[in-house]
Amino acid sequence: MSDYYRLQVLLAEGGFFCDTDFVFLKAFNPLRHYPAVIGVQCKQKMKLACGLMGAVEGSTFIKAYLDSYTGWSFDEEPWTFANVVPWRLSQQYAVHVIPRSAFYPVAWSNKTFWQGQSISMKNSYAIHLWEVHHPDLSVDVLNRTCLAAEIAKITGEPVKPSVVKVREGILSFD
C-alpha cells in the first residue's frame, strides 16, 4: 500500500520519496534534472527498487507505474510491483536508471556490511539498510558497520577506526 501511495504523491507533487530505512550521504542535486530517477536493485534479475525514487510532477514513468496497479489486489505479492514492473516500464518511459551503488550499495543479501567490513560507497547518494532483514536495527547494530565513525559524531561517543572520512563536507569511503 505504501508503494502505491508514494507513486500517487510523486505523480501529483514530484520530488523524492524514500523508505525510512535509508542513510543519506550526499545531496541529490545532480539527479534533479531527470524526469524520473530509480535505482537498480539487481541487474541480473532485472529488478529496480522503488525504495527511493524521484520524479517531476506528472512524470510519464510514474503515471505508467501507478496505472500498472489497475486490477491488482493488495493481497497479492507486492514485490512484483516494487521491483519487476518498474524494470519493464523503464524500457518504455522517460526515467533515469542509476546503478545499484547510488542508492543500494548494501545489497539485500549483503552480510559483510553488517559485520563491519568496508564496502565501496564512493558513488553512493544513500544507503538502504533493508530494515525488513534487520528488525533489531539500532545505533548499536550500525556501530558494527563502516558507518560507526559518522554515528560517533552524532552521538558524541569515541570514534573507533573506520573507513569513513569527511572531506569538504562530503562523506567518502575508502
Residues 90, 94, 98, 100, Cα dihedral to 10°: -20
- Residue 143, pLDDT > 70, answer yes
Q: So where are the chain's domains?
A: 2-100, 103-173
pLDDT tier for residue 169 given thresholds of 50, 70 and 90: low
* CA–CA–CA angle 143, 30, 45 (5° rounding): 65
Task: Say what percent of the chain tops pLDDT 70.
Answer: 81
pTM metric for this prediction? 0.77
Mean pLDDT for the chain overall: 81
- The reported pLDDT for the residue numbered 174 is 42
pLDDT tier for residue 64 given thresholds of 50, 70 and 90: very high
pLDDT tier for residue 139 given thresholds of 50, 70 and 90: confident
For 17-46, how does the pLDDT look when each residue is reduced to its tens digit (9 = 90+)?
Answer: 988 888 888 889 999 999 999 999 988 888
Residues 64, 55, 5, 49, Cα dihedral to 10°: 80
Select the more confidently predicted residue: 66 or 146.
Answer: 66
- Taking the CB of residue 172, how many other CB atoms lie within 10 A of it? 14
Length of the chain: 174
- The reported pLDDT for the residue numbered 161 is 44
If you average pLDDT over residues 100-112, what whole number do you get?
A: 84
- Residue 126, pLDDT > 50, answer yes
Query: What does the block give as the cell for 55?
Result: 520524479
